[in-house]
């Protein structure tokens, strides 16, 4: 049963007398008013449930596409999606790296509740100032995922691409509510990747990974003809994650363009990878259109965390520059804006208006209640849902959600020190958890680049946000670092593998893999 639309009811009430002058309309009008007031729709529920496609790019920065200000990479199909829908300026990944955000999205919870706070299995720096907590190694099977919640509402569900919420076969998408599952492992270039556990799904000879992932999605969308059910499809490509790799014609295009413009960033291979993603988005949109599903399909485009400014070797020596995140500070692995602020575009013709923009702070775990809301489903009673439905923002981007703050907890060494952070409207505080007691306070509205730490200038504001952040960590039982009795300042930058228990040999890694032409 659907709630009656206040807008429709108001319009009908205002025009009822006019409509009733036509005697043939009066019985129909009375019936429609009664149905609307009782929350009953004339159409069947399955016809009203939107198809939902979530395109979840890996490591794409906030300004990697044209509609967010990138003036170098060609992204016409993503830009068109924004022109036809709603673009969010203050949308955040729930985590600074992939697994935490994926956990938050699937569960509807801040990942600190579950303990997946690092990418699985995480990094290890045994001689640093603090010992960081181990991350939970798999999304628990008793978690009611967004796919399982949508299945309860009659949806067919599919997953394509990177999972990274466990390595064991029993913890894959097909055990978490996804009827069709194609988890793909391996780098981007032809011959380097495969579908894990399903040898029947094979790419075409010489096929780039993002093109293969798009093929699988197009086939899934076409399955609507057979299944006659609304569907939820999550596409999670490996692009634009390192190791960088792209098909040669695009690399040559951006190498030439960089030389003409005398540009050092983004790296031509990285730019080509972003354009591969744009091609993939175009194919998804075209498949929806070809099936006649455009008017009843929600397409969501976002990223799992912030972009990568620079590759690092595992001893923290600067390696190849990848892209620029300016004006944002930080990058993937950091709780500064560059590490967590990401693009979000939503196109859903029944609700979103073309070319609209929303500046309300929103976050990855908002997708869960949003999708369930639009599917006319129910949230699981046994599971805390931290997200808020974005449906009000889709209808009216200027409204405010009933939420006091957003929180992040990343108690690990990566591209920054262990930290937690809180954003309360215009203000953001970062508290470092490495025993230094350092805090940073920023007014994001006037300082999106986090250039001026106001913690000394506004000690009251800083103390208030720090207290609220600490209270939140207690509420979600966030795992915390603790002092390391083996701290060694001379060896603190050493990275060790959690898999092997040995130091990582960063010299063995290739700087960049060959492009398709060189294979």
Asked if residue 234 has pLDDT above 50, the reply is yes
Within 10 Å of residue 197's Cβ, how many Cβ atoms?
Answer: 13
The two tokens of residue 72 are 């170098």
Domain 50-404: CATH architecture, name and number where available = 3-Layer(aba) Sandwich (3.40)
3-state SS, residue 114: coil
Mean local confidence (pLDDT), 383-398: 98
Distance from C-alpha of 260 to C-alpha of 349, rounded to nearest angstrom: 40
Contact call for residues 92 and 364 (beta carbons, < 8 A): yes
pLDDT at site 378? 96
Secondary structure (H, E, C), 276-308: HHHHHHHHHHHHHHHCCCHHHEEEEEEECCCCC
Angle, CA 78 vertex, CA 76 and CA 80 arms, to 5°? 65
Exposure string of 396-419, with b = 16+ CB inside 10 Å and e = fewer, is ebeeeeebebbbbbbbbbbbbbbb
Whether the predicted pLDDT of 363 surpasses 70: yes
Q: What is the mean pLDDT of residues 178-206?
A: 94
3-class SS at 215?
A: helix
pLDDT at position 516, please? 63
Which element (helix H / strand E) includes 159?
strand 156-161
- Condensed to tens digits (0 to 9), the pLDDT of residues 468-495 reads 999 999 999 999 999 999 999 999 988 8
Prediction pTM value: 0.89
Position 41 scores a pLDDT of 35
Q: Is 354 or 30 the better-scoring residue by pLDDT?
A: 354
Q: State the pLDDT at residue 510.
A: 55
99-153 pLDDT tens trace? 999 999 999 999 999 999 999 998 889 999 999 999 999 999 999 999 999 999 9
pLDDT digits (tens, 9 = 90+) for 258-292: 999 999 999 999 999 999 999 999 999 999 999 99
3-class SS letters over 458-481: CHHHHHHHHHHHHHHHHHCCCCCC
- Work out the average pLDDT over 379-404: 97
CA geometry: angle at 57 spanning 56 and 58, to 5°? 120
Q: Is there a contact between 112 and 373 (Cβ–Cβ < 8 Å)? A: no
Structure tokens that stand for 367 in this block = 């997708």
By CB atoms closer than 10 A (0-12, 13-18, 19+), residue 316 is middle
Instruction: Find where tokens 């990094």 sit.
Output: 123
pLDDT higher than 50, residue 44: no
Average model confidence (pLDDT) across the chain: 89
DSSP state for residue 50 in the 8-state scheme: P
Whether residue 243 has a cis bond before it, omega within 30° of 0: yes
What mean pLDDT comes out for the span 408-422? Answer: 96
Judge contact between 122 and 144, C-beta under 8 A: no
Q: In Å, what is the CA distance from 403 to each residue of 276, 389, 400, 406?
A: 36, 11, 8, 8
Dihedral of CA atoms 388, 394, 399, 401 in degrees, nearest 10, equals 0
Poorest-confidence range of 31-40, 81-90, 449-458? 31-40
CA distances (Å), origin 43, targets 12, 40, 100, 230, 372: 18, 9, 39, 14, 19
pLDDT at 19: 38
> Is pLDDT at 2 greater than 60 in this prediction?
no
Query: β-pairing, 362-363 with 356-358?
Result: unpaired
* Boundaries of every domain in the chain: 6-37, 50-404, 408-483
Q: Which of 332, 335, 218 is nearest to 285 (CA)?
A: 218
DSSP 417: -
Indicate if the pLDDT at residue 24 is higher than 80. no
Average pLDDT of the residues in 164-186: 95
Q: What's the confidence (pLDDT) of residue 198?
A: 87
User: Does pLDDT of 23 surpass 90?
Assistant: no
* Top-ranked range on mean pLDDT: pick from 11-15, 398-402, 492-496: 398-402
Topology classification of domain 408-483: Arylsulfatase, C-terminal domain (3.30.1120)
Name the nearest CA neighbour of 358 among 322, 332, 395, 315.
395
Span 328-345, mean pLDDT? 97
> How does residue 18 score in pLDDT terms, banded at 50, 70 and 90?
very low
Q: What share of the chain is helix, strand, coil (3-state, %, to 5)?
A: 30, 15, 50
59, HSE (Cβ side, Cα atoms, 13 Å): 23
Name which of 16, 132, 83, 92 is nearest 366 in CA terms.
92
How confident is the model over 237-254, as a mean pLDDT? Answer: 95
pLDDT score at 32: 40
Model confidence at 513, in pLDDT bands (50, 70, 90)? low
Query: Residue 224: what pLDDT?
Result: 79
Structural tokens at position 57: 């790019």
Q: Which residue has the tokens 């920054």?
A: 416
pLDDT score for 507: 54
pLDDT band at 7 (very low <50, low <70, confident <90, very high): very low
């Amino acid at each position: 049963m659907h709630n009656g639309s206040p807008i429709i009811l108001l319009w009908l009430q205002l025009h009822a007398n006019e409509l009733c002058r036509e005697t043939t309309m009066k019985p129909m009008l009375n019936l429609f008013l009664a149905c609307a007031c009782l929350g009953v729709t004339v159409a069947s529920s399955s016809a009203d449930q939107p198809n939902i496609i979530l395109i979840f790019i890996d490591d794409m920065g906030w300004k990697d596409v044209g509609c967010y200000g990138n003036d170098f990479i060609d992204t016409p199909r993503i830009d068109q999606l924004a022109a036809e829908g709603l673009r969010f300026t203050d949308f955040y990944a729930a985590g600074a790296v992939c697994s935490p955000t994926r956990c938050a999205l699937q569960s509807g919870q801040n990942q600190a509740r579950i303990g997946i706070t690092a990418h699985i299995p995480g990094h290890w720096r045994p001689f640093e100032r603090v010992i960081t907590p181990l991350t939970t190694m798999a999304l628990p099977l008793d978690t009611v995922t967004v796919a399982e919640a949508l299945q309860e509402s009659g949806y067919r569900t599919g997953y394509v691409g990177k999972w990274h919420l466990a390595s064991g076969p029993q913890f894959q998408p097909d055990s978490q509510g996804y009827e069709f599952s194609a988890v793909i492992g391996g780098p981007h270039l032809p011959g380097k990747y495969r579908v894990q556990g399903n040898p029947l799904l094979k790419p075409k000879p010489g096929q780039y990974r993002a093109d293969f992932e798009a093929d699988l999605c197009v086939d899934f969308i076409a399955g609507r003809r057979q299944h006659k059910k609304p569907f939820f499809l999550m596409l999670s490509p490996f692009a634009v994650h390192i190791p960088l790799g792209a098909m040669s014609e695009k690399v040559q295009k951006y190498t030439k363009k960089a030389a003409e413009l005398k540009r050092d960033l983004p790296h031509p291979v990285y730019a080509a990878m972003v354009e591969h993603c744009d091609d993939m988005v175009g194919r998804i949109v075209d498949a929806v259109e070809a099936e006649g599903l455009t008017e009843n399909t929600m397409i969501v485009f976002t990223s799992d965390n912030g972009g990568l400014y620079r590759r690092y070797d595992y001893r923290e020596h600067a390696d190849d520059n990848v892209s620029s995140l300016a004006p944002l500070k930080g990058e993937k692995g950091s709780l500064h804006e560059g590490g967590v602020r990401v693009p979000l575009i939503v196109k859903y013709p029944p609700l979103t208006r073309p070319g609209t923009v929303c500046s309300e702070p929103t976050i990855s775990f908002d997708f869960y209640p949003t999708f369930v809301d639009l599917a006319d489903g129910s949230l699981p009673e046994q599971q805390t849902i931290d997200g808020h439905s974005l449906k009000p923002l889709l209808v009216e981007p200027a409204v405010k959600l009933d939420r006091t703050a957003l929180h992040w907890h990343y108690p690990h060494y990566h591209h920054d020190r262990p930290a937690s952070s809180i954003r309360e409207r215009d203000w953001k505080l970062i508290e470092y958890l490495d025993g230094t007691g350092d805090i940073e306070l920023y007014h994001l509205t006037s300082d999106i680049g986090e250039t001026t730490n106001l913690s000394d200038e506004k000690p009251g504001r800083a103390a208030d946000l720090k207290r609220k952040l600490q209270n939140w960590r207690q509420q979600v039982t966030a795992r915390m670092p603790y002092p390391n009795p083996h701290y060694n300042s001379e060896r603190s930058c050493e990275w060790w593998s959690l898999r092997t228990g040995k130091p990582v040999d960063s010299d063995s890694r290739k700087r960049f893999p060959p492009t398709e032409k060189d294979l």
